[in-house]
Structure 1
Amino acid sequence: MKTVAAGSLEIAYIETGPADGPATVLLHGFPYDVHAYDAVTEMLAAAGHRCIVPFLRGFGATRFLSAETPRSGEQAALGADLLALLDALSIEKACLGGYDWGGRAACIVSALWPERVQGLVSCGQGYNIQDIAQAGTPASPEEEARYWYQYYFHSERGRRALQENRRELCTFIWKLWSPTWGFDAATFDRSAAAFDNPDFVEIVIHSYRHRFGGIPGDPAFAGIEARLARQPDISVPTIVLLGADDGVDPPSPIDHHRRHFTASYDRRIVPGAGHNLPQETPDAFAEAVLDLTRYAG
C-alpha cells in the first residue's frame, strides 16, 4: 500500500502493474473497500495496465490532513478527491471504473473534466450523479423499500447502529445487495477492517443526509455541486455494467440514463452479479476496461 497527499487527504492506495502502463483508477463503494478489485487488478496488470485502487475518504488508511476539514461525504467531495489523486500522481489521463460511491466519483470527473478520462466503466444504472434538487420526489414503493438504509441513517438510531454494530449492519447489506454471492466470513472481514477508519461513520451519515438535501455540504465544494445540479452529460466512451442480481439497484428494462452519454456507449447486464460487481464477476469488469482501451486505441 502507498499513500499520497491529495487535496485535503492523505490517500492510501494499492498500485499494481507496470509503472509505464495505461493508467486505470478503480474506485470502491459503500460498504466495501479496495479488495473489491483484487482479481480485476491481477488481470489488468497482466495485460499491462497500471492499476490504482484508492481507499475513499472515510475508509481504510486514508486520512484527512487537517482536523478542521469538514467530514463531508457529498458527491462533490468524492469527485474532487479523485481529481486531486490524478493530479498528485501526475496522471494526465486515465481509464476510470467504479460502482456505488466510487462510480459516482468516476462519473463526476468524466462529466466535469473529460479531458482527464480515457474511458469510463460505470456499474449500476450508469449515470451516477445525484439530482439533489429532485431528492424529495417519491419513487415507486419497491424502490423506496430498497433505500431503507438511507432513511435509517437520517435518524440518531441509524447513526448509533452504524457506530456500534457496523459489522453486523454491513454484513446484512452485503447479503441483501448481492443475494447470489456466496462470500465467506474471511472475505467480509478483510474489507470490514476498512470501516474502522475514524471518519467512517461521520462521512457515511453526511453522505446519506446530504443527498436528500437535509444538511448542508462543505462550502469548499459548492462550486462543483452547482455544476452537478445542472446534470451535465458525460462525453467520454462508456461501458455500463449492471448486475442482474443487484438487490439495491436492479437493472431497469428501459435505459433511462442513456441520454446523458454523448460518446460511444455500451450497456451490459451481467448474469450472476449483484451490487459488488467487480468482486463477484471480475472477468466481466476487467473485460470492460480492456474493451475501452481497445476502443481508444
Structure 2
Amino acid sequence: MTYTQPQTRDRISSFSRAGLTFDVSDSGPLDGPTVVLLHGFPANRHGFDDVAGILNAAGLRTLAPDLRGYSDGARPRRRRSYRAVEHQRDVSALLDAAGTERVHLVGHDWGGALAWQLALAAPERLSRLTVLSTPHPSALVRSLWSSAQLLRSFYVLVFQLPWLPEALLRRRLTTLLRRMGLNESSAIAYGEFMAIDGRLTGALNWYRGMGLPDDRGSRRRMVTVPTTYVWGNGDQALGRRAAELTESYVQAKYRFVELDADHWLPENVPELVAREILADRLH
C-alpha cells in the first residue's frame, strides 16, 4: 500500500468549512501515514480513542473529527445541510486542513456509510478503506428485500419524524445503548454527550437528510480503492446478507473480516479493530 505524504504538516484541533467549525483529535507522529477515523451514531470522536492509541504506538497519525451535527460549531438546522455531498466535503476539508493528500479512511456506522460515499466520490483522496459494521450502500438496499434487514432497519423510519425521536431517546439513550451491548463507560459517555441541547437533533439529522436529492453526489456504485470490511456477527442492526453482498461492489483488493462481536466494534473490541487496520498495510 502506498501513502502520499506532503512535505509539511501541522497539528490541528479543529478545521472549518462553509462557516462551520469541527472539533478534531489529532494524535500520533506528524510524519507517519495518516488514518482518518469517522464515528457513527450516537458516538463522537472519542469512540475511537482506544483504537487511535494503538495506531499511534505503531507509528500512524490519526485524525478523528466530531462530524457535522456533533461538533457544537458545526450544527446547521436545515435537513438539506445533511446531504451526503456535504459530509463528503467536510472530510475533504479536514484532509486539506491537516496537510495530507491521501489517507487510510476508517468509518463505523454512519461514519462507515460516509467512508463508502467518499470512496465512490473521491477515490483519489484515499490510499485504503476500512469500514466497520456498515455494508456497501447498494448491498444494504439489496438485503432489504432478501433478508430480515428491513425489520432491523425499521428504526430508521422512526428517526425521520420531527421531535418524536428526540423525546423518545433523550432520557433513555444510555439504557438503550447498554441493552444493545455497548460497554458501560461508553454508554454513559454517549448519553451525557447527547444530553447537551442540540446535539441529539444534529445527530438525528443524518437520518433525516439521507433521502434528500443530491444531484452533485457520485453516481458510481463500484469502489476502486483497496478495501477491508469488518463485521460483527452479533450485530443487531446490520445483518449477514448485506455483509456478504458487499464484496460484489468492490473492484479492488478486498478483505472481509467476520468477528465474534456486536455492532460496537471501536468501543468494545478496539484491539481487534486496530489489528485489522494495521493488517491492511501488509495487503
* TM-score category (smaller protein): 0.7 to 0.9
Q: 1:101 and 1:27 mapped to 2: Cα distance?
A: 8
* Conservation of the 8 A alpha-carbon contact between 2:115 and 2:129: yes
TM-score normalised by structure 1 residue count: 0.80
Residue 160 of structure 1 corresponds to: 164
CA distance in 2, matches of 1:32, 1:78: 16
Residue matched to 1:280: 268
Equivalent of 2:239, from 213, 237, 250?
A: 250
How big is each residue's C-alpha offset from its partner over 1:12-41, in whole Å with a ceiling of 9 and x where there is no partner?
011111111111000110111122211111
Does the CA-based 8 Å contact 2:107-2:113 persist in structure 1?
yes
Taking only the aligned residue pairs, the percentage that are identical comes to 26
Aligned counterparts of 2:277 and 2:144: Cα–Cα separation in 1: 35
- Within 5 Å, give how 1:175-190 maps onto structure 2: 175-176=179-180, 178=181, 181=182, 183-184=183-184, 186-190=185-189
Q: Which of 141, 145, 149 is equivalent to 1:143?
A: 149
Name the counterpart of 1:45. Answer: 56
Count of residue pairs brought into register by the alignment: 272
Q: Distance in 1 between matches of 2:235 and 2:35?
A: 25
1:76 to 85, 96, 106: 85
Tell me what 1:32 maps to.
Answer: 43
2:133 to 124, 128, 145: 124
Matching residue within 13, 23, 44 for 1:12 = 23
C-alpha contact 2:68 2:74 (8 A) present in aligned 1: yes
Partner secondary structure for residue 25 of structure 1: strand
- 8 Å contact kept, 2:24–2:66: yes
Q: Is the 8 A contact 2:121 2:220 kept in 1?
A: no
Structure 1 residues 222 and 87, CA gap change in structure 2 (3 angstroms): farther
| Helix, strand or coil at the partner of 2:279 | helix
Does the CA-based 8 Å contact 2:135-2:242 persist in structure 1?
no
Distance in 1, matches of 2:243 and 2:56, equals: 35
Shift of 1:141: 7.6
CA drift of 1:61 comes to 3.8
Report the equivalent of 2:7.
none
Quote the residue 2:3 is aligned against: none
Structure 1 pair 76/199, CA: closer, same or farther in 2 (3 Å)? farther
SS at the partner of 2:216? helix
The separation in 1 between residues aligned to 2:155 and 2:237, in whole angstroms, is 10
CA contact (8 A) 2:109 2:134 kept: no
Q: 1:161 to 1:261 in 2, by over 3 A?
A: closer
Q: Any stretches of 5+ residues in structure 2 without a counterpart?
A: 1-11
Gap regions ≥5 residues in structure 1: none
Moved over 4 A (4+): 67-71, 196-199
Say whether the 8 Å CA contact 1:9–1:63 is kept in structure 2: yes
What's the CA shift for 1:168? 0.9
Q: Identify the match of residue 215 of structure 2 among 185, 205, 222.
A: 222
CA contact (8 A) 1:27 1:98 kept: yes
The corresponding residue for 1:200 is: 199
Equivalent residue letter for 1:59? Y
Q: Secondary structure at the match of 1:252?
A: helix
- Measure, in 2, the Cα distance between the counterparts of 1:254 and 1:285: 17
TM-score for both structures, normalised by structure 2: 0.83
Q: Structure 2 vs 1, CA of residues 279 and 105 (structure 1 numbering), >3 Å: closer, same or farther?
A: same
